[in-house]
A and B are shown apart, each in its own frame.
Chain A
């Protein structure tokens, strides 16, 4: 899961002048024709850098995103829900594998990516820095966070980098089960007893603010991304994705008798746009920079897994093996 556009970091475009103008033209023409860029092709340094950052953050988000839901596997109500949640979490970890592989084709090693995650140098989707208090939180994550991820992933799967698009096609095919499973679990609670209804409403109240942060800061304050749009790295703006998410899911929330915890949320029928209370972007910044309820725990868990698994990796290592950048 990955919200896209989730940082305020500026991108420097001034180094484009150093690129070979003829090769740059060919590269842009290829993208304009709708062809994919493959690992062996020439590409501007900025394209490579942005894609590595984006795909790597996406991979980290999948692996960290498995943690809040993974918490609930042992306590999921009933055998069927346990089976489904286990399969879902396994899918997410598999997504991380596919995405790390796609990033590797651009020349960053998996060792380096994991190191950067654990040392806090690279980000992951901010929403996973929040805890899953109850079973209903787990259901809301599977439904709405995955729904948001699908909006983003479907857009990105039409991008220009071949290995990333192919990974996303696989991922999207698997996500449809997550969404349906999550919806099913939420419906069960929302149409159940008073206690169940309250539990799922509380969970929705907790997850709504991070969900509004999920697609990143509003376009008017975001860094300009014209080049990244032209190169089909960024496929939809943060606000476009947020609007699409609201369009698809607010009615589905309402029909279950649940309330969205924002008194100002409504669709303006003239502009065809959703209006809402401006999310607290200061909190977003604070949490993404490390000061959220679960940041420390998430990284500590990854670090522990890395450290405790090290002897296994050492034991099976073939020392004369040669690493070659994966082909496609």
Chain B
């Protein structure tokens, strides 16, 4: 195919192919939920998803997608499939009111990360960990530890060992961000140039 774009000419794009394209199930892989810590000491907060085949790839993509332009101090990723979600309550109802307390059954206890949504339109925030035997038990433990009566609209729990957490020594991956000033608005001052141009035009 001939194009104004030299890359496309080089690429030898075949424009004659008009067969309808069929993408297979899972062609775009599965999704991972991404959480960022914006400042030291702040709670990790959900920012969105990435598509990836495993945790390492998810972390890499998440770093590009969510911390490329604005820095952060930490990042977690976990497969969407691993997150157990409660009901979504309405208005000022507390979702914990509808979660019944239960005892641990049989299974060994493992650690779960717990996230709360407290305002519609905002993102889920990390509130802490619980030890539990199942996701339902984790919800019940979360009620015990994190329900302070204030309305929580939705709770997520996911097993801690399913996450990829950034480590202390990983933080250097965000340390060069401030050097990339070509992406800052401030690098593109226009007013002086326009003023000089107008003066030149008037006198000239």
Contact = CB atoms under 8 A, between A and B. Distances in A.
A327 interface: yes
B1 A328 contact: no
A131 B6 CA distance: 13
Interface size class, chain B: 35 or more
B172 interface: no
A328 B49 CA distance: 8
Given A71-B7, A119-B20, A183-B190, A321 B28 contact: no
Interface in A88-122: 90-91, 94, 97-98, 101, 104, 109-112, 114-115, 118-119
A183 B22 CA distance: 41
A28 to B, nearest CB: 14
Contacts of B54: 316, 318
B42 interface: no
A328 B123 contact: yes
Contacts of A304: 11, 13-14
B82 to A, nearest CB: 9
B69 interface: yes
Interface stretch (B126-134, B163-171, B192-200): B192-200
A322 B156 contact: no
> B14, B124, B194 — which one has the most chain A CB atoms within 10 A of its CB?
B194
A322 B81 contact: yes
Interface string B46-65: 10111101100100000011
A316 B60 CA distance: 15
B70 A173 contact: yes
Given A71-B7, A177-B184, A115 B23 contact: yes
A187 to B, nearest CB: 5
A interface SS class: helix
B28 A176 contact: no
B165 to A, nearest CB: 19
> A110, A190, A319 — which one has the most chain B CB atoms within 10 A of its CB?
A110
B144 interface: no
B23 A297 contact: no
B124 A328 contact: yes
B23 A112 contact: yes
A326 B190 contact: no
A316 B53 contact: yes
Interface in B6-25: 6-8, 11, 13-15, 17, 20-25
27 contacts: A35-B120, A36-B120, A38-B121, A40-B154, A71-B6, A71-B7, A94-B65, A101-B48, A109-B28, A111-B26, A118-B21, A119-B20, A133-B4, A162-B120, A162-B121, A177-B185, A180-B185, A255-B198, A297-B3, A297-B15, A303-B17, A304-B11, A317-B53, A318-B30, A322-B30, A323-B30, A328-B123
The 4 A-B residue pairs whose C-beta atoms are closest, nearest first, are A36-B121, A180-B188, A111-B23, A316-B53
Given A111-B24, A111-B28, A313-B29, 7 more contacts: A115-B22, A166-B48, A177-B183, A177-B188, A326-B31, A326-B49, A327-B83
Interface of A: 35-36, 38, 40-41, 67, 70-71, 74, 80, 83-84, 87, 90-91, 94, 97-98, 101, 104, 109-112, 114-115, 118-119, 131-133, 162, 165-167, 173-174, 176-177, 180-181, 183-184, 187-188, 190-191, 255-257, 296-297, 300-301, 303-304, 306-307, 310, 313, 316-319, 321-328
